[in-house]
Structure 1
């Protein structure tokens, strides 16, 4: 192993001049055959190289000609119709059946740890896609799994794989089907030339597949192999024209000196593309061959070329898996797997394709906003819960979707998928390239159903998507100025100036995927493409590319050190194939660590862009100014950020949340405490156990009404956390009642609505809700309480003050600064929150008190043991007067449209909603 496959009885090799482009030499040679050419079959590496050849022949002939049949090598081993080869889906399903029913002890070598694994269809599908790929690779080099077991250092795994494979073959045979991999080998063994073909020409195929060799070895008609190489190198190719590693894996590759003129190295992919564009604009499009060997650079290059007015054509096409339709079907598959699962629903409804399957979905933008709002406020745990919480059009859409999912799961998979694809095809452009694959997949699923194989709709869709993953949508070539060729297509170009983008290690030479089943040593042993063989092939191709343009034309390679996504890139090892005295300079040039990006800014840099406001920052004349504690807090934090949030509507949104955010968690506890304070039978409870029972009852009811009774693990944990904090407060609540403190008001609403208490400060309406007001039954003393849920314990004085900074004054201080907090402290203090002082002022005025009420937090930190009352004992008339001075002056600043930007400390920036706009400061983000 590997066994050499002999060439056919009549086989000749012809070497074509490497100093001339292959397409030119080949066209001249083929045309020299005259009328015999039309009876030839020409094998070329790729479909696009065949198009290039067919276009070149009449150009070189100067007239229309009867062209030969130009095909790729795979036509030599396509399964015969009579073989009745199973489709991918039928093959995969057969493997899945065998795997799921096979005795566990007979799978120990393949799956060492299966004891606690659920061997369901999903598990099987992941395994069989790998196993069928292995089977295909092995069969493609004319070997069996049993033969590989004999050559492998881990024979047990291969023997078990061979045993499973045999069972799959028998299962397929019972259904009058054959293994598709074996069918390809049988097709090669029984291949016959098409009628009318009198000769076969292998043109520029440096890696002729083994099965193609097997098919041609039995050919009764002449086979001619055309190799682009100097006569002196004739012995460095196999009988089939494949470059041999003994020479090509180590031979030097001549790049004219100085190499820096032919190899351009940039720090970033954007700079590399820009350098390439500069080269392109100095040539006419018909004199340039453009090749992209690093696929990660293709989208960037296409966009840049199109912007420069050079529309390009990528013959490789766009993978179906990169389209929105593919993403939609994956979301739909997730929804099908559990027709009551809500997690994929928001993204599913936002997809354009959703309007084609849901007749009730009329307004996409409205539904997208509604489902985000629903998710944010109710965190639906399932689709039924979401429907109960929804209303209007969204409720109708969700109800229709749930019914459709249930019907699809209950119907035969083939019928459900046909109905789904019919709806999509009628409303959206369905890729033509997908139609054959899809029809084949549906037929396969119907055949499985005929054989009584139960298949759920979501598993059937899994199979369809897996079978379609390799499908590519061909791009429109009309209007293109230049083609973006692949590596194997470069030899079939004749333009004098070759420009290669992305000659990076791992791409050229291509690196076989590291595989536990097929290590490099085993690949070489059985004749699979190994790293050495791929390096030999690509060294040969690069040598010819350079030599064919050495005298009349040019070749230039463009490299980058990072991909568009920031991944590291390195120059191909082929570029290091130079004499030893040139190597240091070559390495220093290609791996230049001192390169700095000039055109692509780091991800953290704001760039040169500026956001422009439609008018100078000002409170709108048509909008009544109202003040709340949270608005004052935002203003003191930064007036300009306050303006962006309150006037311009800058708001950070969170989508697809699966647990309560800080505000929702706080509201949950607030709601329980509000209902406790409003209920006469509960608020006067003075025993801890009774208060705990009341809290538990209210929490359960409040939680279930909003988030449902069947919750996810994160929500269940948060519910228990809320319960622990409420339990910790229950003892204090009972103690306060025994001490004589009685709840007087809860959630007292102050504002401008009919059901709110009107109140103004500095002739400005105030809107706020006071969490709780207590009155002591004996002393008549008043206490204002604010509930605080947080990770860490919050104390009133710490939350209302911060150290003053010299660069804040005078723009951001709205009154006299306060003395340091203690004798040891050095910094004066400023107000950063005026919530409790506002509450105190309102309560004193509204209830006509002669003295300020006591101020306090009831803190509910993550550490439940720290839960409890935090009284602000230091708050007095002096602090209150200062707070009200700051309140009046802050309101006056807002009324006078004073919204300067305040520089934040690094600690503040870490949680600032606007930090992402410009980490260097908002002054760099806005054109003010």
Structure 2
């Protein structure tokens, strides 16, 4: 029979526990001391070491020690057994009580894994009371749940049989017959107010140390657990301390820091904890700003390599450029590609952005098209080739041999892969009998990996304890955050298989038991600090995601006369901490543009950008800033125009085709070439969106054929296409490329530029705009006579684009200038010529160009224009104008 020892609550439990153990120093090596959590065990070991130095300490464990099973099937193997059983069932009618709708119907192929996890989770919950599903079915046989659990028990029998075929025994069955514990040490239950029912069988001869006075003996059962009546007791608020309502976890942490500072509590006398994980993280940050280094043991980092494995699984299933980019985000991938991860990501992203490259085949096709940056395309192709090679080996060798080989490369020292190798060993014998794709095995592996241990900073002064650990904290000043319902006591079960009523019938942990436990813990923690201590309790009105929170029922455990005042305090309105703050953009928030010295070769097409806005010109052409869209699945305006240019360029380079005078012949040629161009980029798997755009372009090219046939019949012949030229202006090389130069049979010369956009309009209107009395010039164009000109109608205008006039300046005698528009409607596919273009217009445009070149040479890229037709940099303005958002330093002079 267990022996109960009441240690009182005149002092913190850890101190009287340490004294009790040291008084039995000679017996310690033969003791098995049970504490509620691993963190509580660490506190005890540190206290013993500090009090006695070197001694033969007892073995310190948690209640989970009594549920361990040395020879049971690993969780991953049991999960596999469930999947095998579920997928083997063809007739679900015998299980209709549990599954009214047959699982798997209309679901994706991986449906069984999700259901297997759910049912394995039910079995794991039942392990609290060492129950099998068949045991639960017997206990619930006379309830409305009886038939449901009988169906589950039948499935369990099939799983147990499958495990037996694999020469395993389930952990549930091992626990049901008594477990494997054979430790002969004397068990000391040290301040453990709650533990799984299955543990009780191992504690019949334990010494039970209870943090309460002897006068409270009737309030605990024989193993020291608070009896249900604790839930009905009144709980007085702290006499020395406070109960504070805050808006959210951030304000709660700030208030905790303020309370500690106001009390002048040193770190070794502060017991700080939170029942809310979000608030625990905020406590680390809030105290950190005050110079205290805190550690949150509950914040566990993800298992090493787990995220990499999940991303590798994505690449195994879909080995494309997008998955490769995600994979390159992990340092481990560098071992598979030979390093240069950043350069490879840039190369792959550029290929996707500029060419819509999706996979290795696309990159190979792009290489054949002589791209402007062949080195980047080659690097992208090499990257995918390397990853494909490792993927091939991985798939050929299978999950166990293939993954082991990869781990030797990505983690050669084995520092992070020990748990994975353990899993591989545990499932190796089953792998020969279970034929599954690699992605399935990786999913099972990732779901089985344990969390990594949190590493505490060496210079930490305090740990943020969880609710159960706080009882073992000895500090005189106790600050508890997260005193909200669902946190203290913990949230009631929402498991569809195990609702609260069912849990109680099966002897599992339940809301009523947690209520009694937490009422005792809060009472005890406040009682030990009644004399010479302080207790501050904090709670929030909303969680970190904005969800509404209620005060803990423990804070409302009061006499009727006092309840009104508590409700009034705990439910009063409170403003969010930032409610009175107005967001303003001041100098501290302005971003600094990069200062870049760069010798420019200015294109004739870029003058329009400078005239529109010199600062945006700087960002685009000097700093090279742009917003890529690699995730798009269709052509953007640039892609559409490039493909159209390629098709008509190739047509014009064909000596025979360019002289066709029949629209049908031209149409057939350009349609065939369009198909060829798309095949060069996409092969046989053309994305649906691109196929739709192809048909739109095909229609435009049909209209183009009709217009071109008329022009040829009128005597115009194509002389040159894509003619490059250079023009020197103020010592700066201006470069350009003319889409099309024609000669008429009578000797006239014409220059045309293809336009696929819908806003090209009249040529002159695209290059200069009228000026009236109310015209307001942009700040960077005020008092600049070089931008002014006179239109053919004699009215004043200003330049906004210099492209076509500079063609005339570079090519000499030109009789006609204009656009060959390839618009979206039949009426928008036409020639648009600059009527009345003169030498004076050309010279005026040259004067404007010389002014722009001078500004660029002198690095004058300020101020930004208030309004532009299309703003690619609006995101940089943070909702304001660029003038307000940017610090005028560095590159933008």
- TM-score band w.r.t. shorter chain: 0.7 to 0.9
1:212 pairs with 182, 199, 207, which one? 199
Between 485-494 and 37-46, the greater mean CA deviation after superposition: 37-46
Aligned-pair CA distance for 1:247 = 4.1
Q: Tell me the equivalent position of 1:650.
A: 625
Q: Quick one: distance in 2 between partners of 1:288 and 1:829? A: 79
Task: Report matched runs for 1:122-521 at 5 Å.
Answer: 122-146=110-134, 147-148=136-137, 150=141, 153=144, 158-188=149-179, 192=182, 194-195=183-184, 197-198=185-186, 200-216=187-203, 219=204, 222-229=205-212, 234-244=217-227, 247-248=230-231, 251-256=233-238, 261-263=242-244, 265=246, 269=250, 272-278=252-258, 282-299=264-281, 301-302=283-284, 305=287, 309-316=291-298, 318-321=300-303, 325-338=305-318, 340-358=319-337, 361-386=338-363, 389=367, 395-426=381-412, 430-431=415-416, 435=418, 437-450=419-432, 452-468=433-449, 470-476=450-456, 478-512=458-492, 514-521=494-501
8 Å Cα contact 1:328/1:353 also seen in 2? yes
In structure 1, runs of 5+ residues without a counterpart are: 1-9, 750-755, 821-827
SS of the counterpart of 1:758? strand
Name the CA shift for 1:262/1:759 in 2 (closer, same or farther; >3 Å): same
Q: Tell me the equivalent position of 1:706.
A: 681
8 Å Cα contact 2:707/2:830 also seen in 1? no
Q: Tell me the equivalent position of 2:371.
A: none
1:912 pairs with 852, 873, 877, which one? 873
| Deviation readout 1:163-219 (Å, 9 max, x if unpaired) | 22211111111222112223233334x755x22x24x33222222112112443xx4
Aligned-pair CA distance for 1:737 = 1.4
Q: Tell me the equivalent position of 2:856.
A: 894
Name the CA shift for 1:525/1:386 in 2 (closer, same or farther; >3 Å): farther
Q: Tell me the equivalent position of 2:821.
A: 857
Aligned-pair CA distance for 1:689 = 4.8
| Deviation readout 1:812-867 (Å, 9 max, x if unpaired) | 455678999xxxxxxx9986851xx52145247625135x534453224xxx7786
SS of the counterpart of 2:823? strand
1:693 pairs with 656, 665, 668, which one? 668
Count of residue correspondences? 860
8 Å Cα contact 1:783/1:856 also seen in 2? no
Please state if 1:664 is matched with 2:634. no
Q: Quick one: distance in 2 between partners of 1:866 and 1:202? A: 90
Please state if 1:718 is matched with 2:690. yes
1:787 pairs with 755, 761, 770, which one? 755
Q: Quick one: distance in 1 between partners of 2:287 and 2:555? A: 30
Aligned-pair CA distance for 1:679 = 2.3
Name the CA shift for 1:747/1:498 in 2 (closer, same or farther; >3 Å): farther
SS of the counterpart of 1:165? helix
Q: Normalising by the residue count of structure 1, what TM-score does the alignment of the two structures yield?
A: 0.81
Aligned-pair CA distance for 1:63 = 6.0
Q: Quick one: distance in 2 between partners of 1:152 and 1:318? A: 41
Name the CA shift for 1:624/1:920 in 2 (closer, same or farther; >3 Å): closer
Please state if 1:924 is matched with 2:885. yes
Aligned-pair CA distance for 1:410 = 0.9
8 Å Cα contact 2:778/2:865 also seen in 1? no
Q: Quick one: distance in 1 between partners of 2:848 and 2:239? A: 74
Name the CA shift for 1:33/1:445 in 2 (closer, same or farther; >3 Å): closer
| Deviation readout 1:490-544 (Å, 9 max, x if unpaired) | 1111011223344455444332563333344434444443444434433433333
8 Å Cα contact 1:90/1:448 also seen in 2? yes
Name the CA shift for 1:162/1:907 in 2 (closer, same or farther; >3 Å): farther
Taking only aligned residues, the RMSD between alpha carbons, in angstroms, comes to: 4.1
Q: Quick one: distance in 2 between partners of 1:858 and 1:701? A: 20
Aligned-pair CA distance for 1:103 = 0.8
Name the CA shift for 1:793/1:892 in 2 (closer, same or farther; >3 Å): closer
Q: Quick one: distance in 1 between partners of 2:470 and 2:188? A: 19
| Deviation readout 1:740-767 (Å, 9 max, x if unpaired) | 3646367534xxxxxx322356775433
Q: Tell me the equivalent position of 2:722.
A: 748
Q: Tell me the equivalent position of 1:5.
A: none
Q: Tell me the equivalent position of 2:373.
A: none
Q: Tell me the equivalent position of 1:583.
A: 566
Between 864-873 and 737-746, the greater mean CA deviation after superposition: 864-873
In structure 2, runs of 5+ residues without a counterpart are: 368-375
